[in-house]
Chains A and B, each alone.
Chain A
Amino acid sequence: MAAPAQAPNQPIIRVKDVEVVLNDRKILNKLTLDVKRGEVLGFVGGSGQGKTVLMRTIIGLLPKVSGIIEVFGVDLDKASEQERHAVERRWGVLFQQGALFSSLTCIQNVQFPMREYLNLSPRLMDEIAIAKLEMVGLKADVRDKYPAELSGGMIKRVALARALALDPEIVFLDEPTSGLDPIGAGDFDELIRTLQQTLGLTVYMVTHDLDSLHAICDRIAVLSDGKVIVEGNMDVMLACDHPWVKEYFRGKRSRAAGMAHHRANDLVAS
């Protein structure tokens, strides 16, 4: 597929001065954010601040009042239908509630995008779908289960497998590890890291999970009052003086997470 010409060091997602109004309330106020190719961006902010709204606006599910959003250098507002499709095929989305198709089995859910976009033999589709399910840490015998028969964590995993079905270049993850047990969440982080390194994936991750932020995020952006108030790596977060950021990254819980992370690093080093 012909990738639109884009210089390698251009941001893969560019959000500039975006305003979103829902029910007469301004949720995002001149928000600007760049995501670089190949990085893992962690997006944090209090509940109801509009993290999901921003993600849905970027992928074109919510209208914006003003501003520019470019993904792969394509402005989706101006793109033709074909260009849009080409872009949509190159990203994968994991919704907060999973959003699996309830009348399809797990394996059919994962195969759905393949069926739509690729022309593969049934055998290869089965094998790839199973491989994806196993990659996200599920056993092959979930293949014929329906979403209603799965636990919350399993739904998240199947949804991730579906988001990764076409080996996308960007994945959008909305709170991927919420609802997972800590070990499962750790596996999830590791998986995302592996995929990001081997496939050169760009990861846009909304999260509340301090462990994920410590373990896999290259850069963190904090949303408050409709704007990104600070972005940078963990050191920048720890140095920030904004009260919410301070409480979030230097509060009691975060110290525990940070310490655990350092301990893990020490173990690896020794």
Chain B
Amino acid sequence: MSEALLTTVARGDRLELAAAGAWTVDCASDLETLVDAAVAQAKSVKSVAINMANVERLDTFGAWLLERLVRDFSTDGRGIDVVGLPPRYNDLVHEAQQSNRKQPEAPSEDIVDTAAMLLRRAGRMFLRDITLTVQLFGQLVMAILRIARNPRTFRFTSMVHHLDRVGWRAVPIVLLITFLIGCIIAQQSLFHFRKFGADVYVVDMVGILVLREIGVLIVAVMIAGRSGSSYTAELGSMKMREEIDALQTMGLDPVEVLILPRILALVIALPALSFLGSMAALYGGGMVCWLYGGMSPEIFLSRLQEAISLDHFEVGISKAPFMALIIGIIASVEGLAVKGSAESLGLQTTASVVKSIFLVIVLDGIFAMFFAAIGK
């Protein structure tokens, strides 16, 4: 860019500007500096003329900067003459003259959040969550009642499909992780119990902990992360593309068509996965006792038989369907809360996983108190 885009010559009260070269997007940044400098220089003059004859090319960036120049000069009633504008640019300059006419309202001040406001907002969100969760639970019950009256409307294929996804396909990873957890529990207990010469109680520790708590808890947390998140993402993107609205206008209930099969699949899959997971964890515990603790499998098994009863197993597995229900409902509520943007899809998916893991743990605590109270 050798030639000057804008040169200014002062003649007494009059300022003469000469534009040249390409007033286009590539020079827009330089051009803006020149235009602003010219405006600053022209504070004292009475009239201004700008000669556009030597402009080779003009695009919307150039046309707008010309318009800005004209507006800035003419604010206090001074005249500005634009001369020599090649006629082929008339339309473009005309477009620029029409634009930016209305001053944008100043954006509303960012209010600094006070602690009280934050608390109030958190409270509102919490109430909203509770309402939506209870509401969805109600809709689920209604859907089940409707289906009980007319079983042929149940989406059996859809449920089997989801059962395959959240149940069958989750088996390998669930087995692997619970196996490792079983190994770790056994190793840690062996290591510490040995100091008291209480090696044999390792089997009690592993058996009771795995069957009552860890088996179901670990699996529920994994399923919340694995399947809850995908439920939220699926429902959310359907919501985004108005697919759910489309269902509704066809007289179908989204809860019955989309949500019920998903949640039922979870409610069936989670106890089964918990059972498999618990077995894998016991297996892992047994392996470590044998290889690391030198306890033969026969001793481990007979000790296990003494240490645990059916009660422990029942306590553990009876929690699974409730946890599945919580995961499924939270995932669906968050999925339906997705707004139009990709960002909101991400936010709700995160919220779904965080909330359902949190609630799974809270629920586990409540169950622990309940079973302690009834002495199981």
Residues on A facing B (Cβ under 8 Å): 1, 101-103, 118-121, 124, 127-128, 130-132, 134-135, 140-141, 143-144, 146-149, 164, 166-167, 194, 197-199
**Do residues A124 and B28 form an inter-chain contact, with CB atoms below 8 A?**
yes
Complex Cα distance A130/B98, Å?
11
Given A127-B68, A127-B100, A134-B98, residue A167 in contact with residue B32 (CB < 8 A) = no
Chain A interface helix/strand/loop/mixed: helix
Do B32 and A124 touch (CB < 8 A)? yes
Other A-B pairs, 16, CB within 8 Å; known A124-B65, A148-B340: A101-B342, A102-B343, A120-B28, A120-B32, A121-B29, A127-B64, A127-B99, A128-B60, A131-B60, A131-B96, A140-B100, A141-B102, A167-B61, A197-B88, A197-B91, A198-B88
- A127 and B102 alpha carbons, distance in the complex (Å): 11
B341 touches A130 (CB 8 A): no
Task: Tell me if A121 and B32 are in contact (CB < 8 A).
Answer: yes
Complex contact A134–B100 (CB within 8 A)? yes
**Contact yes or no, B64 A148, CB < 8 A:** no
Q: List 12 A-B contacts (CB under 8 A).
A: A102-B340, A102-B343, A120-B29, A124-B32, A124-B65, A127-B99, A131-B95, A135-B60, A140-B102, A167-B60, A198-B92, A199-B60
Among A102, A118, A131, point to the contact of B100 (Cβ < 8 A). Answer: A131
Instruction: Please indicate the chain B residues that have their CB under 8 angstroms from the CB of A148 in the complex.
Output: 240, 339-341
Q: Which residues of B contact A194 (CB under 8 A)?
A: 91-92, 95
B interface majority secondary structure: helix
Instruction: Give chain B's interface residue range (CB within 8 Å of chain A).
Output: 20 to 34
**Looking across the interface, which residue of chain A has its beta carbon closest to that of B67?**
A131
CA distance A140 to B343 in the complex (A): 24
The CA-CA distance from A149 to B240 in the complex, in Å, is 12
The answer to whether B61 and A128 have CB atoms under 8 Å apart is yes
Q: Which of B59, B89, B96, B340 contacts A146 (CB 8 A)?
A: B340
Are B95's CB and A167's CB within 8 A? no
When the two chains form their complex, are residues A167 and B107 in contact, meaning their CB atoms are under 8 A apart? no
**Chain B residue at minimal CB-CB distance from A130:** B100
Nearest-Cβ distance from residue A249 to partner chain B, whole angstroms: 30
Contacts of B24 in A (CB 8 A): 167
**Interface assignment of B10: CB less than 8 Å from any CB of chain A:** no
- A134 contacts B99, C-beta separation under 8 Å: yes
Bound complex: CA of A144 vs CA of B107, how far in Å? 9
User: Of B88, B99, B339, which one neighbours A130 at CB under 8 angstroms?
Assistant: B99
Query: Is the C-beta of B26 less than 8 angstroms from some C-beta in chain A?
Result: yes
Expressed in whole angstroms, the minimum distance between the Cβ of A146 and any Cβ of chain B is 6
A234 to chain B, nearest CB (A): 24
Q: Can you name the residue of chain A whose Cβ is closest to the Cβ of B33? A: A121
CB distance from B66 to the nearest CB of A (A): 12
A146 to B91, Cβ gap below 8 A? Answer: no
Q: How far is the CA of A169 from the CA of B91 in the complex (A)?
A: 18
Cross-interface CB contact of B28 among A118, A147, A198, cutoff 8 Å: A118
Report the minimal beta-carbon distance from A17 to chain B, rounded to whole angstroms.
35
Q: Flag whether B25 is at the interface (Cβ < 8 A).
A: yes
